[in-house]
Structure 1
Amino acid sequence: MNSLLSRAVELQHAAHTLMYLGMDGEPLYSDDFCRQNKDVLLKCDSLFAAKSSDVEEEANLCLALLMGYNATIYDYGDKAQKKQSVLDRTYDVLEQLPASLLKVRLLAYCYGEIYEENMLQEARAMMDQWDKETLTSEQMEIMEELKNIEENQYPFEILD
């Protein structure tokens, strides 16, 4: 695995860990929470300018950035712009990416940002092709995440 891809996968893992921090019943300590938030944001910012000509690598990078910026509580005034920039890159990647778990994950995270119905339908169509008897843990996880995103659509603009 090359350096850029390994850094993107590392960020995906760190963001996932942060998003589910405390969900396992373990105590949640504020210093650990703050440290992990800072770590994820630093990883996002270090990868933000990186780009790849390889479609799958670029898709993993966009996914990592979306996950990371969603997971962190910190915003130094430019997080919304950075997320929009990543979304713009993602649209190009999605057109080139073959049907896969990676594409479903990317569609799910994009849908969670903009709630564009055709993204949800495309993700659902790919998931419908999966053999329900032999689902991987990653497939089950993204199905559950997408269900949660669908059921809890509350963009912050509406809550103000």
Structure 2
Amino acid sequence: MNSNSSSLFSLAHDLLTYGLDGSPIYADQFTRLNRDVYERAIELYNIHGATAEEEAELCLGLLVAFAATIYDNGCKQEYIQNVLDRSWEVLPKLSASLLKVRLLTYCYGEFYDESLAKEAHEIINTWDKAGLSPEQAEIAEELKGFEENQYPFEEVEE
């Protein structure tokens, strides 16, 4: 990943997983991390990658950042839709890779189009299950989580 999109993805991922390791969550640190991620996303929003991979990395970082942050300047849903539109343009240009699975997964997490999950699974199924990298295992679990809980902020009666 290029350094800007890589650091945005890393920051946003830290925010998404903040406190999951059992460490205490401090309000000031959580607020600062939220602000930093959101401001970095806004800075990178109008930048486009020079290659399909760079564009995919930017789209991924932006989707993760917007999903992770609590801030909204009133345009967040518009930003997300524009990043999704950019993602649709770049996805067909990507080879079957971890990057493509990540982008498919986070696009799926925005509107749950089954064809995105299916394509991600097709790539994951080509990976050596015994030798998964930590990143491969993590994205496979994230996809599973999105599939099992499509309504994370709603109470669903069964």
Same fold (TM over 0.5): yes
Distance 1:113 1:155 in 2: 11
State the one-letter code of the partner of 1:30: A
Rounded Cα–Cα distance in structure 1 between residues aligned with 2:115 and 2:138: 21
Counterparts of 1:5-154 in structure 2, within 5 Å, are 5-154=2-151
1:68-88 CA distances to partner (integer Å, 9 max, x unpaired)? 000001111100000000000
Distance 1:118 1:53 in 2: 27
Any idea what SS the aligned residue of 1:143 has?
helix
Deviation at 1:53, TM superposition (A): 2.7
From the two aligned structures, give the one with the greater helix fraction.
Answer: 1
How many residues are paired up?
A: 155
| Cα distance in 2, alignment partners of residues 148 and 23 from structure 1 | 15
- TM-score, normalised with respect to structure 2: 0.95
Q: What are the superposed Cα offsets for residues 101-136 of structure 1, whole Å, 9 maximum, x if unpaired?
A: 100000000000010010000000100010111110
- TM-score, L = length of structure 1: 0.94
Cα offsets for 1:1-40 (capped at 9, x unmatched): 7xxx201000000000000111111110100000000000
CA–CA separation in structure 1 for the residues paired with 2:146 and 2:101:
13
Aligned sequence identity (%): 51
Question: Equivalents in 2 of 1:116, 1:45: separation in Å?
Answer: 26
Quote how far apart the aligned CAs of 1:155 are.
6.4
Distance across 2 between alignment mates of 1:101 and 1:62: 14
2 CA distance for matches of 1:25 and 1:155? 21
1:144 partner amino acid: E
